[in-house]
Every structure is written in C-alpha cells, then in structure tokens.
Structure 1
Amino acid sequence: MQESIKSIFTESIQAQIAAGEVLPDALESAALTIVQGLINGNKLLCCGVNSCHMLAEHMAGLLVNFYETERPCLPAVALTQASVQLGNQATVDDTDRFARQVRAFAQQGDLLLVIAVNGNEKDIVSATEAALTKDMKVLVLVGDDGGELTGLLGPNDVEIRVPSKRPSRIVESHLFITHCLSQLIDDVLFPQGEQ
C-alpha cells in the first residue's frame, strides 16, 4: 500500500510540474484580465461543475476576503448550485442553472470564471454562452482537451487548460491555480514592496 501512496504523490507532483511548464502565460493573462475588470468597477462571477464548484466558491471567497494578506474586499460572487425556483413552477433544468444567474446578475464588462474538468459539461457551456451574449470576458479553468468550451472562447477570453486527462489531477491543479491567481491579483493591486 505504501508504494501505491508514493505513486499517487509522484503522479500529482508530475501533473503540477507539467502544468507549471505550460500555464504561466495563461495565468498571467487571466490575472491581468481580472485585475483590469476589477479596476474598471466590474465583478467576477464564478461557477464550477459539481466536482469543482467548491473551488468556484473558494475563489470568490478569496477575493471578497483575502488570500494571505489582509486587504480591501474585491467584488466576486459564486453562482449558486441550487436550482432556481420560479414561484410555484417546477425547478429550472440543471443545465441552465448558472446561465440563468448570469443573465440575471451580470452586467456588461463583468467577468465569468468557469471551472470544469473536460469542458463538455452542459451547465458550464450554457453559462459561458450566456456570458458571451452579455459581452463578458470568460476565464476557463479546464483539463483534458478543453472540450466544447474551447470552441466558444474568443480572443479576449482566457483558457487555462491543465495538461492532464485524469479528473483528480485536474481538480488538484485547479485548486493550485485559484491560489496562484489570488496571489497574482493581490501582488498587482496591493503590492507589498519586495516580493
């Protein structure tokens, strides 16, 4: 069993090294896109597929609160996973839950951060489509080949694609990426002198 445990750690470390080799440009672009949106008075909306939604909530929380150093609140919100109720009507189809919230709460210029595993998850695809119809910039954290999400993105959007096909490694990298983005955003907006 101990060899298996060591193998799991080794695989995770190798996935992080591979991500570190290919993602710096995308991470820099994503951080600067978020910073510029915040400077312009816009907010970051975050959502994720079931296995990643806690990361969307975590990212929003890091901006509203702080990452490692106390600083002013930044406007970010995680869209709810709960199906939206329409009075006495039946609940909204789960594939439309995030898209409806984007249409209801987002303003032109706001940013949408979507976190997915393979990019073919219908609730995330429909949220991205809704954001694009509102002229929002979209930041995508995804793995595998990027799936359907990749085809939706324009030149002003940012794709951060983890170079892995294994869901567990992708989700682990997404957590690291949210921390990396939080630190980069703080470093730009609230520099602490020597870094």
Structure 2
Amino acid sequence: MSDKIKNIISESISVKTKLLNDEMIINTLIRSIDIIVTAFKNGNKVLFCGNGGSAADAQHLAAEFSGRFYTDRDALPAEALHCNTSYITAVANDYSYDVIYSRIVKGTGNKGDVLVGLSTSGNSKNIINAFEVAKEKGITTIAFTGATGGKMKDLSDYLFNVPSTDTPRIQESHIMLGHIICQLVEEKYFS
C-alpha cells in the first residue's frame, strides 16, 4: 500500500515537472493572466464551465476571483455557469444537456469577457458548443484539457493541455494552473 501511495504522488509530481519545463505552458499562463486582468479592468467578467470534477474545479476557481485568493480586496466578476440548478435542469430537459453552457453564454456573455472551459478529454460537447458561441461573440476562450487538447484545442485562444491522459493527474494540474492564474491576476490587478 505504501508503495502504491508513493507511486501516485510520484506520478503527480512527474506531470507537474513536465509543466514546469514547458515554455509554451509558461507563456500561455503569462498571456492568460494579462487577458484576464484586461477583461476585469474593462468591466468584463470571467465565466467558467466544466462537468463533474471539472465543474467543481470551475466553481472553485470562480470563487477565488469573486471571493478572494490571498488578499482582502473587492470581489472580481467571475462565475461558474453550472451553479443555477433550475436553469441547468430546465435547459437540459427542454433542449439538451449539450446546450446548457452555450445558451447562457449567448444570453449573458459579452465581447471582452473570458470563458474558461475545463475538460480532461477536451471533447465535452457542452463546452465545445459554448466555445463556438464565445467565438461568435468576441469572447476569449481558455481551455484546460489533457494531453491532446481534444476538439477544444482548435476552439481555444489559450490552451493548457496538461501532458497526461490520467484524469486525476490532469485535474490536479488544472487546479494548480488555475491557482497560479488567480494569484497573479489578483497581484497584478490590485497592485
């Protein structure tokens, strides 16, 4: 059991070490931080979406902006799009689960906003649909995926394709990358 635990920790460290040494990921972090700071300074918002564990991560990251990260400061306009269960269940029932995010992005998203989609496969149809609507509306898209980027790769302005095909290792890296963004956006915006 001890060896199994150590192996899991080692695998997580290995994925993060690959990220640490990936200049493209580092540069994408810098550009994403800048685009989010610009959005906030221009009065725009950051929207998050995901399914399952990725929905939990989306909600977590939205709360880091709308609540606080390290500093006691004003709230920033960020929201996880799945938190209104009446909306989600009505749209999924009346239309399709595939349009739960695209309908709300179409209805409430504005040019200059940022849409962050988390999908370990990069192939979540509801997020793909939301990214397509975002493109039509002039909303910047940031994708958090696994190694291949899936179909979201071609729809994202900024891609964090974590170098793994193991869902838990991908999600652990998504939250780490998200925390880096939250910390540095907070520092830059409120400096």
TM-score range normalised by the length of the shorter chain = over 0.9
1:118 is aligned to: 121
Does 2:133 match 1:133?
Answer: no
Distance 1:72 1:141 in 2: 26
For 1:185, the aligned partner's letter is V
TM normalised by structure 1 equals 0.90
1:61 is aligned to: 63
Tell me the matched-pair count.
186
1:2 is aligned to: 2
Distance 2:159 2:51 in 1: 16
How big is the shift at 1:92? 2.7
8 Å CA contact retained: 2:141, 2:155 = no
Unmatched 5+ residue regions in structure 1? none
2:76 is aligned to: 74
How big is the shift at 1:91? 2.9
1:92-142 Cα shifts (integer Å, max 9, x gaps): 311110111111111111110111102111111111111111111111111
CA RMSD of aligned residues (A): 1.5
1:159 is aligned to: 159
Unmatched 5+ residue regions in structure 2? none
Paired residue secondary structure (1:85): helix
Paired residue secondary structure (2:48): strand
TM normalised by structure 2 equals 0.92
8 Å CA contact retained: 1:103, 1:131 = yes
Does 2:114 match 1:107?
Answer: no
How many percent of aligned residue pairs carry the same amino acid?
31
Distance 2:155 2:111 in 1: 18
How big is the shift at 1:90? 4.1
Distance 2:12 2:69 in 1: 23
8 Å CA contact retained: 1:34, 1:185 = yes
8 Å CA contact retained: 1:63, 1:76 = yes
